[in-house]
Amino acid sequence: MTGNKKCFAGVDMGSVTVGAAVIDHDGHLIGHAVERTGARSADTAGACLEQALQKAGITMDDVAFIVGTGYGRIAFPLANTTVTEITCQARGIHHQFPKARTVLDIGGQDAKVIRLQDTGRVMDFAMNDKCAAGTGRFLEVMAGALQVPLDELGNLALSTTEEAAVSSTCTVFAESEVVGQVARGSATDAIARGLHRSIAKRFVALANRVGITPDVVLTGGVARNPAVKQFLTDEMNITEILTPQIPQITCACGAALIARDKATA
């Protein structure tokens, strides 16, 4: 039982970023924060949760239960329990998009596709966690190779119809390929477009392993990139891909909802 404590928290400890979400008893998001993970992930997670609590106007004394999730969840001492990111992501997306049946989660260093039942439970999933190709880290490296700010890369790719093919799926080899194209005089926007096409094709191949059923929701930090969303829509041959308002914290929100379930059971 929660006693007088009416709030619940979820902390998603990813390899690149940490997200924290605080909800009230009705499941409304009242505070959130996102920080780069850094070398001391547990400290970052604690600081991130504190930021979320401050935004909510509460303290730890008001929190009944905390669920940790994500890559580094075992290292978070403040969590009352831990739950896998697959389960938390499914819960967070279903809460925001009850009709969602396919979740595309592209994070900093891995990518996941989750099939949901109409109840929001996980039906199947596929995960690429052995290679950073097609993830946020891939885009960071390519933006550096092109000397373009990361947050401008997607719009740059959408600014042209020319496309310089990028065939390498490995981040290291793709970076060498991009450097070579720049040296040969290929237009930066055309290379950017080719990179995003490569990401979409690779991710759709992963998604086909579990099947693609609308509604489709794209989440994770890469969901903020408009070109990734556009090329995924094209390659999947569907009319629309939905995105959460704050895609970096959907997994943390799911963890907070599970925290509420556990505290009120």
- Each residue's pLDDT tens digit, 67-80: 999 988 988 999 99
- Each residue's pLDDT tens digit, 136-150: 888 998 999 999 999
Query: pTM for the whole thing?
Result: 0.92
The CATH code for residues 7-91+248-264 is: 3.30.420.40
The order of strands in the sheet holding 17-23 is 29-36, 17-23, 7-13, 63-69, 81-82
pLDDT at residue 75, rounded to an integer: 85
117 and 103 Cβ atoms separated by less than 8 Å = no
CA–CA gap between residue 104 and residue 87 (Å, rounded): 14
pLDDT at residue 1, rounded to an integer: 40
Residues of the chain within CATH 3.30.420.40 domain(s) are 7-91+248-264, 99-243
pLDDT at residue 72, rounded to an integer: 86
CA–CA gap between residue 156 and residue 189 (Å, rounded): 5
Give the three-state DSSP class for 17.
strand
| Region for residue 229 given its phi and psi (left: phi exceeds 0; alpha: psi -120 to 50; beta: otherwise) | alpha
Total residue count of the chain as it appears in this document: 265
The contacts of residue 105 (CB under 8 Å, 6+ apart) are 89, 111, 112, 113, 114, 219, 220, 251
pLDDT at residue 4, rounded to an integer: 61
CATH superfamily of 99-243: ATPase, nucleotide binding domain (3.30.420.40)
Tens-binned pLDDT, residue by residue, of the chain (265 aa) = 455 678 999 999 988 899 999 999 999 999 999 998 888 888 999 999 999 999 999 999 999 999 999 988 988 999 999 999 999 999 999 999 999 999 999 988 788 999 999 999 999 999 885 566 667 888 998 999 999 999 999 999 999 999 998 877 677 778 888 888 888 888 999 999 999 998 899 899 999 999 999 999 999 989 999 999 999 999 999 999 999 999 999 999 999 999 999 998 7
Chain-centroid distance, C-alpha 247: 6
Other Cβ atoms within 10 Å of 38 Cβ, number: 12
Structure tokens at 155: 């719009």
The contacts of residue 64 (CB under 8 Å, 6+ apart) are 2, 3, 5, 6, 7, 8, 259, 260, 263
